[in-house]
A = this chain, B = another copy of it.
Amino acid sequence: MRLFASLPSFFRDNYPSAERLGVPVARWRQSIYRTVFETNTPLGKTFERYLTLAILLSLCVVVVHSIPGTAEGWRGYLLRGLEWIFTLAFTAEYGLRLISVRKPWRYALSFYGIVDLLSIIPAYLAVFFPDAQFLAAIRALRLVRTFHIFPALHGFLSEYLMLARALQASARKIFVFLSVVAMIVLVMGTLIFVIEGPEHGFTSVPMGIYWAISTVTTVGYGDVTPATPMGRFFASVMMLLGWGIVAVPTGIVGAEISRNGTKARMKGVECDTCGENRHEDDARFCRRCGTRLQST
């Protein structure tokens, strides 16, 4: 819920504000600040555009690197070279951010400060522990940096905010719904484990729950499936059940979105006397103070 609540503001500003970070006095630090932190100056916009590009390219390198065969021969050298170039560039960016503010710790301890740091550390660690598999997991964090891209899409901001608000407004209903689903899945997972048993692939209750979720969400991998007549009857009931309740979140979010649309149409005109501006489109008098509204 917290997550949902912070979504709209999250899409608007990512880094701590200028007031919190403290814009420095020195000219050269100010101009760096303007470039790396602000997104409404010409230089800042250019910087953000190239940064977004660099992040996307570095992601491509990480993705391509994971394909077996690409890490060998000249392609391996190329990929590792590119990875190092990106790592150094991001390190420089991190350094510039630290230098250009008066309170570097504020930045370093902010969410994006930590993300910026974590996205460059794995490459350095990989020098000392070359086959540490777990490092790749940290690399995935670099993906969070792509959230940078969102504020760049200024044109789509209203759509982002609208979707975020619809999700936020229905967060409580969805939470309630998910808790009911959790209960169903728990009961069903236990029952199928009892009915089918380990000899048909249902090795434990968690396995049964995994199967129940894959059935109720209509994903249906088919890696574990009931093999007894009773298990199949039971699965059939569950599929129909899942099919029925899949309608619920759709209904919740759909209703929220169409309500939002209605609200948007309801903005109407502003009252000259009291300033109330949430009037329906066909209202002729202010619903707050009774003054006749000026049509637009």
Contacts and interface: CB of A to CB of B under 8 A. Distances in A.
A88 interface: no
Interface size class of A (residues with CB under 8 A): 35 or more
Interface in A214-238: 214-215, 217-223, 225, 229, 232-233, 235-236
For the residues of A in contact with B, the DSSP-based class is: helix
Nearest to A68: B203
Contacts of A144: 187
Contacts of A181: 240
Contact of A261 (B67, B160, B255): B255
Nearest to A265: B259
Contacts of A174: 244
Nearest to A63: B205
A87 interface: no
A178 B239 CA distance: 12
Contact of A254 (B236, B250, B283): B250
A244 B172 CA distance: 13
Contact of A274 (B193, B203, B274): B274
A136 interface: yes
Interface of A: 59, 62-63, 66-68, 133-134, 136-137, 139-140, 143-144, 146-147, 153, 156, 159-160, 162-163, 166-167, 172-181, 183, 186-187, 190-191, 193-194, 197-198, 203-207, 209-210, 213-215, 217-223, 225, 229, 232-233, 235-236, 239-240, 242-244, 246-259, 261-262, 274-280, 282-292
